[in-house]
């Protein structure tokens, strides 16, 4: 080895290091290799030494690849690299060689065979398909020389280009980034074999354009043998190479390992055997594959996002939310997706600023460690809300845009009910919101509409089945349920499932006995036990109690029913708690809608509607990707109310986000209303379903709400605040901190550190702020921090972000509040006493009857989802502060078996809200010229 070469070049010239460690990138594809005659190898004529045995070299390369792959698979057991070979032609000689070597090394190979006369467009089409296939880690071409073109070769993704044919790979090598590129296995094989034959090899590796001109061209004039790895050898001027220099072209037909003499009269076999090159090149290609797989795995591991954050220029006074939203131009959602590590085939774009994320991402990142998991909850709020969504958004803006920590916000999708009712939108507020806020608040990608459609399809199926069973004989009913189509009569898949449930082991419809026909055809639903209601995503108090079936065609099958708001539907709860499409289908099938006349549960599966429900929900299951004002990522998915349902966004959104942020990142998810409702359900229901363990709780408080709990006048939406809330009043704040202290204690029941986030309003004084933070710390909060994200964006929540990061790094002592094996009544009592502070509970006769029925049906071991007012720790909305010694009345109990919880209704809790005297829709309008929405807030 020449001592005149730079040290880095000499290191690259050690092919044996490649065999030992699997890391040597080999000689450059686009460079040339100088072989200088000397004492070690004599002349280049017919009497040159015979090449060494190839088998030992190949074995060493394959064994090295196998060992490296084994090490990778120790940490990633499911990982197995796949090499795709696109072949256009009938030369199958290399298939067997590649297959055998790949199997020995532990790789998989897939061949894509095209007709020999395939054109450029067809080949490129196949290349682009393989590029986007996340299962494939390497791509090689076996096509005719006439098919090679710059367009074809550069269609390959450089990271999958294991033959090093793209200009990107060449460019990386020329810049000296040899560890980032792949090099032609054929050229490497030729160099390796020439060296083994006894030649002393000098490798010319160019690290810059100046070095190329000054050093490389000068030495090229002195070369005895030049090996070309360039896809464009004709572009190398003849004057660069002396006339008597031997030139070998290693590029053309590279997959087959064939070499061509680039100089007249050169016989390749006099130097090295094509068979030797063919076999060794195949082995080195396998080695490149292992390197490709290793790079791919490294990219899946935690890394800081290369996120382009959007700049904020906060104004004072702070404009309206919609003005702020429109003043910021969001990034294209596909750009955001790429920045956070999503692949092109893992998103489905809806317009410019939102997209659905495919669940296949979880499989790709299954070996990735989760980030930190943080819940945002709150104290008992005023009817105006205290800004949990705003705090959530401000916190992730601070973490990502200002502290440069990967973080994700996971929010619920807002219901149309509050958007057009009292509270308005739920995209956050001020300079801490999700954009575009109109799209966030209105329809989004249609998930709530899908739930409405699925829910009401099931409701229609229930009443329709009762109607047909009441008006038909067993035989007529059976013949219609299992009709003959084109002379063939057979059960559908879901009907076969029902037969299995009934213990009928028959698949021929004509083989059932009369008794079996009756059992199969009749569900015998007891109308008085129907718990499944129709839903609508609008606050409509006049649908709380209705009568259905009054038309003459319904033949007297009328009954009393009701509408719930869509977000109270069990299908919404299923969406929020499921972890896969298969799991969702099973949960939908398990949903209990009524009991039969023998007291046994009737399910959606019994009604035969499971598959149809899954079809309606197949897109809704995918989380929706959006962004904050500062360009940080947000998942918006599922929207169950916390006072009616379990009040948390989806398990799937959280799980995907935890993988995307990586081990050092943060996922901040929000629970609805106070810690006594949304947080309790998050821990006892959502964490049980997901298996995820929270690291910290952020408890949101406001001076306004604390003054209300301290005895301040009532707060009513749409009515101006009294002076007690706009002027300093230390005593009211101090008295109201009892509610904050109680909510901190509730969080501590679960063993999770609490950081209090005081959402500061412009009317709050320094004395009030300092008092709240001091009392919160005395109550056991890990820290208490005033937050100014509403007026300053993420920069205003940097102190909160630092406190949360420190708290989340503490060891979690998380525990559930109760054992699910306890009787239903005892679980309800535990929540009432430990969380709400009740003296005891009181069950209505109907509630006790339902509990007895669900226990008898085998549902007694499910967690509890209390439906209770969010405006008080008790069941009475006007009882503020910390009510004591009250009896909590349970008026009714429902079972959400598909979602997986029992659902007690506290007091007069309604599952269909009503509109106020002056709803928000008075202010909402559309500018018909610009098509801009007006009046949202």
Please provide residue 11's backbone torsions phi and psi, each rounded to the nearest 5 degrees: -65, -40
Q: Is 388 a catalytic residue?
A: yes
Q: Is 412 a catalytic residue?
A: yes
CB distance 575 to 686 below 8 Å: no
Structure tokens at 762: 């412009």
- β strands within 138-254, DSSP E: 138-142, 201-203, 225-228, 246-249
Cβ-based neighbour number of residue 358 at 10 Å: 19
Q: Is 541 a catalytic residue?
A: no
DSSP-assigned beta bridge partners for residue 905:
867, 892
Q: Which of 88, 573, 642, 792 is catalytic?
A: 642
Give the residue among 93, 113, 108 at the shortest CA–CA distance from 274: 93
Structure tokens at 102: 């790949």
Rounded to a whole number, what is the distance in angstroms from the first to the last CA of the chain? 73
CB distance 60 to 21 below 8 Å: no
DSSP letter string over 374-428?
Answer: EEEEESSPPTT---HHHHHHHHHHIIIIIS---EEEEEPPPPHHHHHSSS---SE
Report how far residue 179's alpha carbon sits from residue 187's, in angstroms, rounded to the nearest whole number: 17
Q: Position of tokens 């289908």? A: 585
CB distance 530 to 594 below 8 Å: yes
Please provide residue 574's backbone torsions phi and psi, each rounded to the nearest 5 degrees: -60, -45
Angle between helical axes of 514-521 and 493-502 (0-180°, round to 10): 110
Q: Is 795 a catalytic residue?
A: no
CB distance 399 to 405 below 8 Å: yes
DSSP-assigned beta bridge partners for residue 392:
none
CB distance 604 to 532 below 8 Å: no
The C-alpha angle with vertex 656 and arms to 444 and 693, in degrees rounded to 5, equals: 115
Q: Which of 408, 673, 682, 750 is catalytic?
A: 673
Structure tokens at 851: 């509990």
CB distance 825 to 854 below 8 Å: no
Q: Which of 382, 390, 566, 669 is catalytic?
A: 390
Q: Which of 148, 750, 782, 790 is catalytic?
A: 790
Q: Is 369 a catalytic residue?
A: no
Q: Is 673 a catalytic residue?
A: yes
Cβ-based neighbour number of residue 308 at 10 Å: 10
Q: Which of 219, 260, 326, 423 is catalytic?
A: 423
Return the H-helix or E-strand segment holding 298. helix 274-300
Cβ-based neighbour number of residue 491 at 10 Å: 18
Q: Which of 160, 364, 388, 868 is catalytic?
A: 388
Q: Is 790 a catalytic residue?
A: yes
Instruction: State the catalytic residues.
Output: 388, 390, 412, 423, 642, 673, 761, 790
């Amino acid at each position: 080895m020449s001592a005149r070469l730079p040290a880095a070049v000499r290191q690259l010239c050690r092919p044996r290091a490649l065999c030992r460690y699997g890391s040597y990138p080999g000689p450059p594809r686009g460079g040339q290799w100088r072989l200088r005659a000397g004492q070690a190898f004599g002349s280049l004529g017919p009497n040159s030494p015979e090449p060494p045995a190839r088998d030992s070299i190949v074995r060493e390369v394959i064994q090295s690849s196998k060992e490296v792959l084994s090490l990778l698979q120790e940490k990633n057991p499911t990982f197995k690299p796949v090499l795709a070979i696109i072949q256009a032609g009938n030369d199958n000689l290399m298939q067997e060689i590649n297959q055998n070597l790949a199997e020995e090394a532990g790789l998989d190979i897939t061949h894509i065979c095209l007709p020999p006369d395939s054109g450029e467009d067809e080949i490129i089409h196949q290349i682009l398909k393989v590029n986007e296939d996340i299962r494939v880690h390497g791509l090689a071409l076996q096509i005719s020389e006439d098919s090679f073109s710059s367009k074809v070769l550069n269609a390959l993704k450089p990271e999958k280009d294991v033959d090093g044919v793209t200009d990107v790979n060449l460019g990386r090598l020329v810049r000296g980034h040899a560890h980032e590129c792949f090099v032609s296995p054929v050229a490497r094989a030729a160099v390796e074999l020439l060296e083994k034959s006894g030649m002393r090899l000098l490798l010319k590796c160019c690290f810059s354009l100046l070095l190329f001109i000054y050093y490389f061209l000068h030495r090229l004039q002195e070369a005895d043998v030049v090996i070309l790895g360039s896809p464009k050898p004709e572009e190398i001027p003849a004057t660069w190479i002396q006339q008597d220099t031997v030139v070998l072209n290693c590029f053309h037909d590279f997959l087959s390992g064939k070499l061509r003499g680039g100089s007249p009269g050169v016989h390749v076999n006099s130097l090295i055997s094509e068979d030797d090159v063919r076999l060794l090149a195949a082995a080195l290609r396998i080695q490149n594959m292992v390197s490709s797989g290793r790079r791919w795995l490294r990219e899946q591991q935690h890394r800081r996002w290369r996120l382009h954050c959007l700049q904020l220029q906060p104004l004072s006074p702070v404009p309206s939310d919609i003005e702020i939203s429109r003043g910021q131009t969001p990034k294209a959602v596909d750009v955001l997706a790429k920045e956070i590590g999503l692949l092109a085939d893992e998103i489905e774009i809806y317009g410019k600023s939102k997209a659905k994320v495919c669940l296949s991402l979880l499989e790709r990142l299954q070996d990735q460690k989760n980030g930190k998991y943080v819940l945002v909850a709150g104290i008992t709020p005023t009817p105006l809300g205290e800004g949990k969504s705003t705090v959530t958004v401000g916190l992730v803006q601070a973490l990502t845009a200002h502290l440069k920590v990967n973080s994700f916000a996971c929010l619920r999708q807002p219901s149309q009910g509050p958007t057009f009712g009292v509270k308005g939108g739920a995209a956050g507020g001020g300079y801490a919101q999700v954009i575009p806020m109109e799209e966030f608040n209105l329809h989004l990608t249609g998930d709530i509409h899908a739930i409405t459609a699925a829910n009401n399809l099931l409701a229609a199926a229930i009443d329709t089945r009762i109607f047909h069973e009441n008006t038909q004989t067993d035989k007529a009913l059976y013949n219609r349920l299992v009709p003959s189509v084109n002379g063939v009569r057979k059960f559908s898949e879901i009907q076969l499932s029902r037969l299995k449930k009934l213990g009928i082991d028959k698949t021929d419809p004509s083989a059932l006995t009369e008794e079996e026909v009756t059992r199969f055809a009749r569900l015998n639903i007891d109308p008085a036990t129907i718990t499944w209601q129709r839903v609508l995503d609008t606050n409509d108090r006049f649908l709380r109690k209705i009568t259905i079936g009054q038309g003459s065609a319904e033949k007297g099958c009328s009954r009393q029913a009701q509408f719930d708001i869509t977000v109270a539907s069990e299908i919404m709860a299923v969406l929020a708690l499921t972890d896969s499409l298969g799991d969702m289908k099973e949960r939908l099938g398990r949903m209990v809608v009524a009991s039969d006349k023998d007291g046994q549960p009737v399910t959606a599966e019994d009604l035969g509607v499971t598959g149809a429900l899954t079809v309606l929900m197949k897109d809704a299951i995918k989380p929706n990707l959006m962004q904050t004002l500062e360009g940080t990522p947000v998942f918006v998915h599922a929207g169950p109310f916390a006072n009616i349902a379990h009040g948390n966004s989806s398990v799937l959104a959280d799980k995907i986000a935890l993988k995307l942020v990586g081990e050092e990142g943060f996922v901040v998810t929000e629970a609805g209303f106070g810690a006594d409702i949304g947080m309790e359900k998050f821990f006892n229901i959502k964490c049980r379903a997901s298996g995820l363990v929270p690291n910290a709780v952020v408890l949101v408080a406001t001076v306004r709400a604390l003054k209300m709990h301290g005895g301040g006048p009532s707060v009513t939406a749409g009515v101006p605040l009294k002076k007690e809330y706009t002027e300093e009043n230390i005593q009211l704040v101090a008295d109201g901190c009892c509610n904050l202290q109680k909510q901190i204690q509730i969080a501590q029941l679960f063993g999770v550190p609490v950081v209090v986030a005081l959402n500061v309003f412009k009317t709050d004084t320094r004395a009030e702020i300092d008092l709240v933070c001091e009392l919160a710390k005395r109550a056991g909060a890990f820290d208490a921090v005033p937050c100014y994200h509403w007026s300053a964006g993420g920069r205003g929540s940097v102190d909160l972000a630092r406190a949360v990061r420190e708290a989340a790094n503490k060891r979690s002592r998380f525990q559930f509040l109760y054992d699910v094996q306890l009787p239903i009544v005892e679980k309800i009592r535990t929540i009432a006493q430990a969380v709400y502070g009740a003296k005891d509970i009181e069950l209505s006769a109907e509630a006790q009857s339902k509990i007895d029925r669900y226990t008898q049906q085998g549902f007694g071991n499910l967690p509890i989802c209390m439906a209770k007012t969010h405006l008080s720790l008790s069941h009475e909305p006007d009882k503020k502060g910390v009510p004591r010694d009250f009896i909590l009345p349970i008026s009714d109990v429902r079972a959400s078996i598909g979602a997986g919880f029992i659902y007690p209704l506290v007091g007069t809790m309604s599952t269909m809200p009503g509109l106020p005297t002056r709803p928000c829709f008075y202010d909402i309008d559309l500018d018909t010229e610009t098509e801009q929405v007006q009046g949202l807030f």
